[in-house]
Structure 1
Amino acid sequence: MADLYYDVVVIGSGPAGEGAAINAAKSGKRVAVIEMQQQVGGNCTHKGTIPSKALRHAVKQIITFNTNPMFRDIGEPRWFSFPKVLKGASRVMQKQVKLRTEHYARNRIDIHFGHARFIDQNTITVTGGSNTADRLHAKNFVIATGSRPWQPPGVNFNHPRVYDSDSVLELQHTPRTLIIYGAGVIGSEYASIFMGLGVKVDLINPADILLSFLDNEISDALGYHLRSNGVMIRHNEQFESLETYDNGVVLNLQSGKRLKADAFLWCNGRSGNTENMGLENIGLEANSRGQLEVDEHYRTSVEHVYAAGDVIGWPSLASASYDQGRAASKDIAEDPEFHLVTDVPTGIYTIPEISSVGLTEQQLTEKKVPYEVGQAQFQHTARAQITGETIGMLKILFHRETLEILGVHCFGDQASEIVHIGQAIMNQPGELNSIKYFVNTTFNYPTMAEAYRVAALNGLNRIF
């Protein structure tokens, strides 16, 4: 058994772990990363963000080919199997692994593959991997182990017709009909993906509206678009039981409904990866969802042990996780530039995608803030007409008196890119944060960014 000594040991190599490790190394710390899987990248690269978004992109290309009349000169609309479409995603994953491996090597960070377990306050053992039975000693630790789909008791996830959001990426057939239980971000994204492959989808939502954290108008637009493309959305339905057969499944809901489909996808809830880590040996305890509580410096109740990313819960976004990891290592290094990660845009990769930052209309109404709305419908912009991506809108919420931008909400093609323009202006100090910026700035034409000017003029016309 080898004894190795470090300043910082990071457990997990997903976005939070990578952010923490590389920033700590650049601060002059000797750093090691422990990764449970056989390659770096974490669940983000291998089971979550990267494969699902690569899959979505491929499906979007299929939709374009099958619906654009120009392509009829090439051939008739085609059907693509789910496994075939997945192959493109696997190529992206390997590129990401290569890139991240090079990052660690360039920053002289040691990688230990295997299972991490605390044996005392400053010591971890690594077992089951290529560096089996190594013992790592460190002054500080960052737990960035991510999360996994929560699996309810009574559902046989070993059945070939039953999947969760991880195992669906191993689907070897294309079902004609699919039931998705859970209409959160992941459930809505997969509903869009399978819809694009021509699968008839039942999307079961335990809540009363889709993605309640979104602006209501954006949520309504998503629901309308899914329904118009054949997705059956069922709100306020609770899981009762699942029957599995050789050729399909039957979902029983508490309302008494029975739904039959070729396959079932569970997308309701996630659990932090904190089991069998020996947390009890350092006086640390996860909550009922396997998540760790942290303070505003990402410290757990054990002062020299930090946590970041999905394992601490909200917002459970790769973008936020990376910044949280960086912030944790900045605190370890006593870097004066430390900041709490709060300005987090939402990116939802449905088809079309959704992105937002700031407050919603319902939040502003509850706070009794005097606000106004500026809108730009994509169907009226030249760039959208050229690309054929005319579904969607940009919505700017701003203060009626100060003209300060309070929220930006976008539904449509490239929404996750478009929102960052508004985010940048929202973060400007004082009077620089103003909707007038978009009126007084020249945008390239034709672009999707021009929608900001259209929305700004639309909003200002409501108050002047």
Structure 2
Amino acid sequence: MDQFDLLVVGSGPAGRRGAIQAAKLGKRVLVIEQGKRVGGVSVHTGTIPSKTLRETALNLSGWRERGFYGRAYRVKQEISAEDLRRRLLITLDHEVEVLEHQFARNRVQHMRGKASFVDPQTMQVVKDDGEVINVTATSILLAVGTKPFRPDYIPFDSKTVLDSDELLDIEELPRSMVVIGAGVIGIEYATIFSALDTQVTLIDPKSTMLDFIDKEIVEDFTYQLRDRNMKLLLGQKAEKVERLPSGKVELTLDNGRRIATDMVLFAAGRMGATDTLNLPAAGLEADARGRLSVNPETFATKVPHIFAAGDVVGFPSLASTSMEQGRIAARVAVGAIAKEPPKYFPYGIYAVPEISTCGLSEEEVKDRHIPYECGIARFRETSRGHIMGLDTGLLKMIFSLKTRRLLGVHIVGEGATELVHIGQAVLNLKGTVEYFVENTFNYPTLAEAYKIAGLDAWNRMGDIKSEL
């Protein structure tokens, strides 16, 4: 039986960041990963693959140049699934190589196998070769991530009816696709395949989507999707999915509508991958979606020496926030001081177009009864936008009338997930509208939209007295 200071289950963003942090503090760390290679869902089926797929699709389809050359413009006339997979494999190999080097450089031990609790201090690991060993640790960090939710009424076959993990292995691009689930994952894949000129229909029982995003941004995003002929069937539920002898798939909705399509992607939620951990042996239990409850400041579970971080603890389920959660959990677990991260973090949705947001939405500002004003800039107002051929894209900032401080920044359009960091910095440094009015931005850049939006808000705010 081996003894470690910290045992980490899972090598995704939370697990690897937590493991490396503890190792840098001189602790003996073991990472257990049940996948074939380290990296977890983020590297192999989630964040990195989906973003690589997006970038490949936009490049090969010529999507970014269509503003100049028309909707029919394509870099490669016939795009295959193999074209998409080739770039994906190169990217994944690089990610795994970097991670393995980080583990080696920081002397983090890792092994492949399935871990489950024997008691609160001990985990049993069944290795690939069948060998079973027990490992004990002073502290344990569960960073097992999530897996797709697969309800019984969906006839998954890995070819025409798939979950989001299986989508990366398709053999050919479908001419038509129905995506069930208008959450972040469903929307990302729906818009990526739409950019590849697949006819996409998006279905969700809720009448709205992305409710945590500023409503004005969602409205602009929705307009862009409809403008390119994506069908959005919100407020409608797929009650029956069946494969037809022709090879197509037929869906029956709760309103009686029937849809035939080449492929169905079911992306209506994910479940914490906790079902094999034997949680009761450690005095823990997961909720109905397999998620673990933790202290939001330390990420400790109700068993003080067992921590959990990443997607398995629920919202926001971002690789970026998972890394910070893992780092904080590891520091607390080994008895080090852990500073609370800055209040505002960016949320990025890698759809086509991108959406990114940081801070309060206009709806949240209203709910808090904060007097406010908004400033808006459209990318087509910038010289860089003209150079790039952009006719869409929107940047919105919200400012307090009392303090003139920035309250939130919300962006939809090209480069949104990069641009948002300027607003994030100003938010966390408690900057005001004057920063954007008086500061100089490179010209021509899309970042100039900050100045345009700042001036828009400043003009609207007029001579209203600040309480700074």
> Shorter-chain TM-score: which interval?
over 0.9
Matching of residue 120 in structure 1 with residue 119 in structure 2: yes
1:17 equivalent to 2:15? Answer yes
Q: For residue 403 of structure 1, give the secondary structure of its aligned residue in structure 2.
A: coil
Once residues 268 and 24 of structure 1 are traced to their aligned partners in structure 2, the CA distance between those partners, rounded to angstroms, is 35
1:141-197 Cα deviation digits (max 9, x unpaired): 000000011001121212521001110111111111111000111111111111011
1:54-93 → structure 2 map (5 Å cutoff): 54-64=52-62, 67=66, 78-93=77-92
Report which stretch shifted further, 124-133 or 388-397: 124-133
Aligned to 2:465: none
Alignment length, in residue pairs? 458
Q: Given residue 13 of structure 1, which amino acid in structure 2 is its aligned partner?
A: S
Q: Shift of the alpha carbon at 1:280?
A: 1.1
Contact 2:36 2:112 (C-alpha < 8 Å) held by counterparts: yes
CA distance in 2, matches of 1:357, 1:269: 23
3-state SS of 2:15 partner: helix
Secondary structure of the residue aligned to 2:20 is: helix
Q: CA deviation at 1:70?
A: 6.1
State the alpha-carbon separation in 1 of the partners of residues 74 and 239 from structure 2: 46
Q: 1:457 to 1:68 in 2, by over 3 A?
A: closer
1:229-244 superposed matches below 5 A: 229-244=228-243
For residues 36-435 of structure 1, the aligned pairs below 5 Å read: 36-64=34-62, 67=66, 78-129=77-128, 132-158=131-157, 160-246=159-245, 247-296=247-296, 297-339=298-340, 343-429=344-430, 433-435=431-433
Residues in 2 aligned to 1:14 and 1:69: alpha-carbon distance in whole angstroms: 40
Match of 2:466?
none
For 1:62-89, what per-residue CA distance to the aligned partner results, in whole angstroms no more than 9, with x for missing partners? Answer: 33267365699x9886131233222211
User: Equivalent residue for 1:448?
Assistant: 446
Structure 1 residues 345 and 130: CA distance shift in structure 2, 3 A: farther
> 1:60-115, CA deviations, whole angstroms, 9 ceiling, x for partnerless residues?
1133267365699x988613123322221121111000000100000000001010
SS at match of 1:207: coil
* Contact 1:209 1:219 (8 Å CA) reproduced: no
Match of 2:461, SS state, is coil
What displacement does 1:455 show?
0.7
Contact residue 309 and residue 325 of structure 1 kept, 8 A: yes
What's the CA shift for 1:372? 0.3
Percent of aligned positions that are identical: 39
Q: What one-letter code is carried by the residue in structure 1 that aligns with 2:400? A: H
Contact 1:323–1:341 (CA under 8 A) maintained in structure 2: no
Task: Say if 1:71 and 1:228 are closer, same or farther in 2 by CA, change over 3 A.
Answer: closer
Change (3 A) 1:259 1:448: same
* Offset, 1:327: 0.7
SS at match of 1:114: strand
TM-score by length of 1: 0.95
Q: Specify the code of the residue in structure 1 equivalent to 2:138.
A: K
Q: Decide whether the 8 Å contact of 1:83 with 1:174 is kept in 2.
A: no
- Which stretches in structure 1 are left out of the alignment for 5+ residues? none
- Asked if 2 retains the 8 angstrom alpha-carbon contact of 1:346 and 1:355, the reply is yes
For the Cα contact (< 8 Å) 1:309–1:320, is it kept in 2?
Answer: yes
1:116 partner letter:
A
1:79–1:197 CA contact under 8 A, matched in 2: no
Unaligned runs of 5+ in 2: 463-468
**Equivalent-residue separation in structure 1 for 2:279 and 2:100 (angstroms):** 28
Distance 1:265 1:351 in 2: 17
Contact 1:157 1:163 survives alignment (8 Å): yes
Distance (whole Å) between structure 2 residues aligned to residue 46 and residue 98 of structure 1: 13
Shift of 1:343: 2.7
Provide, for residues 33-69 of structure 1, a one-character-per-residue CA deviation record: whole Å limited to 9, x for no partner. Answer: 0001011100100001101100100111133267365
Mapped to 2, the partners of 1:385 and 1:219 lie a distance apart of 23
Partners of 1:57 and 1:319 in 2: how far apart?
19
Whether the 8 Å contact between 1:330 and 1:338 is mirrored in structure 2 is no
Output the CA distance in 1 between the equivalents of 2:460 and 2:38: 52
Separation of aligned partners in 2, 1:5 and 1:350: 44
Mapped to 2, the partners of 1:6 and 1:325 lie a distance apart of: 17
| 1:267–1:302 Cα change, 3 Å | same
Distance between the aligned counterparts of 1:127 and 1:144, measured in 2? 18
